[in-house]
């Protein structure tokens, strides 16, 4: 009798092993659920970041079309030459403001990233809308070159920080490359979009339509990019200070100088290639727009390619070699193709647009490799580092290059021509611009000298 009474109780009591198995199953299900949710979130972040490239960069990358329109339909008070710096100023202001914005939203204001991006959307939309009522060239510069750029930078900085954090553990360079490819899709399509709008509706209605595009796409995309969980509540902790140890690294300054040189030449063709095609090569207005689109189209492939090359473990190239391929190639193609172009030579100009566009557009995708190297150096020294802040500073030094290149471009365009080569593009008013673009691009490839020891080289020469 006692045995029959105890037996059902033993059957009803769950075993310890059964509890552990059930617990393990629940943990596995929860882990799989979190992993699936993380993958979906990362995909949304990537999609949102890709769509945002249109409202952020579409105007700056298509400015050559607008500059051509301003010259042909001049109704503003002031000097026409000032319009030549609006596009480069917009790029420069965006990049120069990024170090400060990245610093703000890396830690202390990380929980306000989406709100900041919405505020940036409002600023950009108001700026583009007010620019449609510009009567002086200085008002045009202020709205299109400065305030709209600040708004776009306020959209870009917090969302890009989140992109880097969601892909911090793997494929970060590739994720940057994919987003940069979307940027070049924008650069390829937007010139035709803006040209079509201007031809059909005029300048004022075009800027009104662009305002609506920027507002709608920005708000939709911003809410696809949530702040990473690791940053949501960091403002409540004491760990707010940004680690600045990387400023003692030689590699940071080495890469920064290279970025300045590369960026100072990169903005020149974007601004002047369309007007060169019309004024010097005697090509049609449509062809000038095509040049600008063809310039940006190869970057669709190039950004992903250079991002993949930076992350690739089979093709073992140093960070310096990968980051030098782009500027050195750009310098070579500038001298060979743009410099040697003749009147009506649409073929050689198209070749220049494709080759320069491919290698220059892929340069930013090599920054992922630069970040990895500085992160490894910090790990070896047992130093903390914030990759987002470092990426923001790289954007800042790129802004220095854009602004200096834009200012130099206006002066060089008025410097005259090179008498020794009047048959080719070097002998036109664009000759000094072409030389500046080629030389600055080549100097951007000086990172190949990373391991170069001049003292050792001199000793070897003396022994010969």
- Residues facing 77 on adjacent strands: 136
Statement to judge: residues 129 and 278 lie in one domain: no
Q: 226-230, 237-241, 310-314: lowest mean pLDDT where? A: 237-241
Same domain, 268 and 150: no
Q: Is the pLDDT score of 459 beyond 80?
A: no
Please check the confidence at residue 132 and state whether its pLDDT lies above 60.
Answer: yes
Q: Is residue 7 part of a domain?
A: no
The more confidently predicted of residues 153 and 271 is: 153
Instruction: Dump pLDDT digits (tens) for 331-351.
Output: 999 999 998 887 777 888 889
300 or 455: which leads in pLDDT: 300
Q: Report, as an integer, the average pLDDT of 429-445.
A: 90
Return left, alpha or beta for 416; rule: phi > 0 is left, psi -120 to 50 is alpha, else beta: left
- The reply to whether 187 falls in a domain is yes
Q: How large a percentage of the chain has pLDDT more than 90?
A: 23
**Mean local confidence (pLDDT), 418-446:** 84
> What's the confidence (pLDDT) of residue 189?
87
pLDDT of residue 437: 93
The per-residue pLDDT for 331 is 93
Clarify whether residues 252 and 209 are in a common domain: no
Residues 165 and 278 in one domain: no
Task: Identify whether 62 is part of a domain.
Answer: yes
Q: Is residue 31 part of a domain?
A: no
Q: What is the per-residue pLDDT for 146?
A: 92
In a domain, 331, yes or no: yes
What gap in Å lies between CA 318 and CA 447, rounded to an integer?
11
Q: pTM surpassing 0.75?
A: no
Residue 293 shares a structural domain with residue 400: yes
Question: Do residue 176 and residue 261 come from a single domain?
Answer: no
- For residue 464, tell me if it sits in a domain: no
- The verdict on 289 and 311 lying in the same domain is yes
Look at 86 and 122; give whichever has higher pLDDT. 122
Both 203 and 249 in a single domain?
Answer: no
What does the pLDDT read at residue 240?
Answer: 57
Total domains present in the chain: 2
Structural domain span for residue 321: 242-450
Q: Quick one: how far is CA 379 from the chain centroid? A: 27
Is 25 a member of any domain?
A: no
**pLDDT tens digit string along 101-121?**
988 888 778 888 999 999 999
Our measurement of the distance from residue 432's CA atom to the centroid of its chain's CA atoms, rounded to an integer in Å, reads 27
Which has more confidence, 30 or 244?
244
Q: For residues 138 and 62, which has the higher predicted lDDT (pLDDT)?
A: 138
Could you give the 3-state DSSP secondary structure of residue 14?
Answer: coil
> Do 113 and 229 contact (CB within 8 A), yes or no?
no
Residue 164 has pLDDT above 70, yes or no: yes
Please provide residue 168's backbone torsions phi and psi, each rounded to the nearest 5 degrees. -70, -30
**Are 88 and 199 within one domain?**
yes
Give the per-residue pLDDT at 143.
94
Residues 213 and 296 in one domain: no
- Residue at which a domain ends, from 199, 231, 263: 231
Given 182, 197, 231, the domain boundary residue is 231
What is the pLDDT, as a whole number, of residue 302?
A: 83
Cβ of 272: how many Cβ atoms within 10 Å?
Answer: 22
Specify the CATH number for the domain of residue 353.
1.20.1250.20
- The answer on 426 and 349 residing in a single domain is yes
Q: Which residues contact 260 (CB under 8 A, 6 or more apart)?
A: 397, 398, 400, 401, 404
Give dist(CA 81, CA 28) in Å, integer. Answer: 65
Examine the fold and report which residue of 198, 231, 264 is the final residue of a domain before the chain moves on. 231
Tell me how far the alpha carbon of residue 162 is from its chain's centroid.
15
Helix, strand or coil, per DSSP, at residue 242: coil
201 and 330 in a single domain? The answer is: no
pLDDT at 61: 82
Report if residue 90 sits inside a domain: yes
Span 208-223, pLDDT tens digits = 999 999 999 999 999 9
């Amino acid at each position: 009798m006692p045995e029959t009474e105890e037996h059902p109780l033993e059957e009803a009591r769950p075993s310890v092993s059964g509890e552990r198995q059930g617990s393990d199953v629940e943990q596995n299900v929860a882990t799989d659920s979190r992993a699936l949710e993380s993958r979906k979130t990362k995909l949304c972040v990537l999609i949102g970041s890709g769509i945002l490239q249109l409202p952020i960069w579409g105007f700056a990358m298509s400015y050559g079309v607008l500059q051509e329109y301003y010259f042909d339909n001049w109704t503003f008070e002031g000097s026409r030459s000032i319009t030549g710096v609006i596009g480069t100023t917009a790029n420069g202001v965006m990049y120069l403001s990024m170090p400060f914005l990245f610093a703000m939203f890396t830690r202390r204001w990380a929980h306000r990233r989406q709100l900041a991006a919405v505020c940036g959307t409002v600023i950009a939309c108001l700026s583009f809308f007010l620019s449609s009522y510009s009567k002086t060239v200085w008002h045009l510069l202020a709205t299109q070159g400065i305030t709209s750029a600040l708004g776009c930078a306020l959209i870009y900085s917090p969302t890009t920080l989140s992109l880097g954090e969601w892909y911090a553990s793997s494929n970060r360079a590739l994720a940057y490359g994919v987003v940069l490819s979307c940027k070049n899709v924008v650069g390829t399509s937007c010139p035709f979009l803006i040209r079509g709008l201007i031809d059909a509706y005029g300048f004022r209605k075009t800027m009104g339509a662009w305002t609506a595009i920027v507002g709608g796409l920005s708000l939709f995309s911003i809410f696809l990019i949530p702040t990473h969980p690791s940053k949501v509540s960091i403002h409540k902790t004491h760990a707010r200070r940004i680690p600045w140890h990387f400023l003692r690294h030689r590699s940071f300054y080495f890469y920064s100088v290279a970025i300045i040189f590369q960026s100072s030449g990169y903005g020149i063709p974007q601004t002047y290639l369309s007007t060169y095609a019309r004024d010097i090569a005697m090509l049609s207005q449509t062809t000038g727009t095509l040049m600008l689109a063809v310039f940006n189209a190869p970057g669709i492939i190039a950004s992903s390619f250079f991002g993949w090359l930076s992350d690739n473990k089979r093709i073992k190239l140093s960070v310096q070699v990968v980051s030098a391929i782009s500027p050195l190639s750009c310098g070579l193609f500038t001298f060979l193709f743009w410099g040697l172009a003749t009147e009506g030579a649409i073929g050689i100009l198209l070749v220049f647009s494709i080759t320069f566009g491919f290698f220059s557009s892929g340069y930013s995708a090599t920054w992922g490799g630069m970040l990895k190297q500085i992160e490894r150096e910090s790990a070896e020294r047992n130093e903390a580092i914030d990759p987002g802040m470092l990426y923001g500073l790289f954007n800042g030094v790129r802004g220095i290059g854009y602004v200096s290149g834009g200012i130099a471009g206006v002066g060089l365009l008025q410097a005259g021509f090179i008498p020794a080569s009047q048959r080719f593009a070097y002998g036109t008013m664009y000759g000094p611009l072409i030389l500046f673009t080629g030389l600055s691009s080549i100097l951007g490839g000086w990172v190949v000298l990373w391991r170069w020891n001049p003292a050792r080289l001199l000793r070897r020469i003396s022994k010969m």
